[in-house]
Amino acid sequence: MSIKDPLTNCYNRRYFDAHLRNIVKDSVEKDRRLSLMILDIDYFKMVNDNFGHSAGDELLKQIQRRISENIRVTDLLARFGGEEFVVVMPDTDTSDAYTIAERIRKIIAKKPFILADKNTTHDVTVSIGIAEMQESDLDNIKEFIVRADKYLYKAKDSGRNRVVTGYS
């Protein structure tokens, strides 16, 4: 079975699901912080509708590259599905995760993306939700993901192009 997303070449959802439990377990055993970031491309459907799926694919690859360039080698980046990416950040509390996420958000918003035809540029923003692991997450990994996803949707509902955490 493949562990890489064929389009973006980052880890896929299957790999993420298989490894998150071990990362959470390790963090609990070592009494270390762990944060989870879910990033969603704002208005991605509009890119596909207006510029075509090849433009959307190119955008996903470039977003993945910008995220990869701004996280640590110890972080796990995976394509969560569609236009969503997830970053697992060991040894990272909410405050540090927010700093990383805000840097990524600004870098994505600052520089237009060159789409598939190489002649079209498009401004893109992202919304990001962050949850910090709680000890109970070892018994219910899904709840950890649900919390990060809830904060992602708060970011979208409050205007997009922002980072929301449990402490926002």
- Sheet with 126-132, strands from edge to edge, namely 76-81, 84-90, 34-41, 126-132, 163-165
Question: Residue 84 and residue 44: Cα distance in Å, rounded?
Answer: 10
User: In this structure, how many other beta carbons lie within 10 angstroms of the beta carbon of residue 67?
Assistant: 23
Question: Which of 29, 58, 69, 83 does the annotation list as catalytic?
Answer: 83
Question: Residue 6 and residue 119: Cα distance in Å, rounded?
Answer: 25
Task: Return the half-sphere exposure (C-beta side, CA atoms, 13 A cut-off) of residue 11.
Answer: 16
Determine the 3-state secondary structure of 20 from DSSP.
Answer: helix
- Annotation says 83 is catalytic: yes
Q: At what angle do helices 94-110 and 53-68 cross, to 10 degrees?
A: 130
Determine the 3-state secondary structure of 139 from DSSP.
Answer: coil
Catalytic residues: 83
